[in-house]
Homo-oligomer: A and B are copies of this chain.
Amino acid sequence: MAAIVSHSKTRQHILRAALRHFANSGYAAASVQQIVDDARVSKPALYYHFKDKAGLFQALVSEAHDKEFELLCGAAARSKTIRGQLVEILAVLFDYFRENRELMRIALATMFASPGELPKKLRYLDRCERNFEFIHTLMKRALQNGELDGRFGSREMAFGFYGQANVHLMAHLVTPTCRLDRRTANRIVGLFLAGAARKRNAGSPGKF
């Protein structure tokens, strides 16, 4: 896993242990003592590399959101149609999720955290917004292209899709419902684009 970049070995151990504990217990319930025990380092070693508990968390949060943004960009570039882009996005998120579920958990948890749940000095809202706005941009473009239904707003569609993607990920953290793979990605995008209602003319049903 090349996800955690760090110059020091100790710093790396700390980050990896912190990732485990924050992902598993949330910010408040994860204790610094547990983290340093798990990382087999002393507490001052942690406070040498990170300003405080919040700073340690911040490092992981930034990495999680930046990684997601990177994945979104890469995936969207791989297709020209909105359908292809959305499938690519879901597929790559699912792939990454399967092997880095702890980092993803942190990204999701910070996205939907209560105001008092995390230290106020933490900066992550701008990163959340950036990731959402990326999807939003795709939708706007597809709307102009005529790929999407003009009766809906780009914002509500971006919201519907990004929201649904996140729900699938979050739900999978709680109870693995179905395999999060490319096939599932295809079906989700299919449902999103075609809608759940029965079609009046079953002329060209397409495949999902």
Which A residues are closer than 8 A to B by beta carbons? Answer: 23-30, 83, 105, 108-109, 111-117, 146-152, 155-157, 159-161, 163-164, 166-168, 170-171, 173-174, 177-178, 187-188, 190-199, 201, 205, 208
What's the nearest-Cβ distance from chain B to residue A194, in Å? 4
The answer to whether A114 touches B164, judged by C-beta atoms less than 8 angstroms apart, is no
Contact A117 to B201, CB < 8 A, known contacts A112-B173, A191-B157: no
How many copies of the polypeptide does the oligomer hold? 2
Please report whether the interface of chain A is mostly helix, strand, loop or mixed according to DSSP.
helix
User: What residues of chain B lie closer than 8 Å to A117, measured between beta carbons?
Assistant: 24-26, 29
How many Å lie between the Cα of A196 and that of B161 in the bound state? Answer: 10
Q: Which residue of the partner chain, among B149, B199, B201, contacts A149 with CB atoms under 8 Å?
A: B199
Query: Given the known A-B contacts A28-B29, A167-B167, are A148 and B196 also in contact in the complex, defined by CB atoms under 8 Å?
Result: yes
- Closest Cβ–Cβ distance, residue A129 to chain B (whole Å): 9
Query: Which of B29, B111, B149, B159 has a CB less than 8 Å from the CB of A174?
Result: B111
Considering the complex, give the chain B residue whose CB is closest to the CB of A147: B198
Question: With a CB–CB cut-off of 8 A, which chain B residues contact A109?
Answer: 114
Query: Is the CB–CB distance between B116 and A174 below 8 Å?
Result: no
Give Cα A91–Cα B111 distance, bound, in whole angstroms. 24
30 contacts between A and B (CB under 8 A): A23-B114, A24-B114, A25-B117, A26-B117, A29-B117, A30-B116, A108-B112, A109-B114, A147-B197, A148-B198, A149-B195, A149-B196, A149-B199, A151-B208, A152-B196, A156-B187, A156-B188, A161-B196, A163-B163, A163-B164, A164-B164, A166-B167, A167-B167, A191-B195, A193-B196, A193-B197, A194-B195, A194-B197, A195-B195, A195-B197
Among A27, A109, A149, A194, the one with the most B-chain Cβ atoms within 10 Å of its Cβ is A149
Central interface residue in A25, A29, A191, by most chain B CB within 10 Å: A191
Q: List the B side residues contacting A30 at CB < 8 Å.
A: 116
A198-B163 in contact (CB<8A): no
A193: contacting residue among B27, B148, B195, CB under 8 A? B195
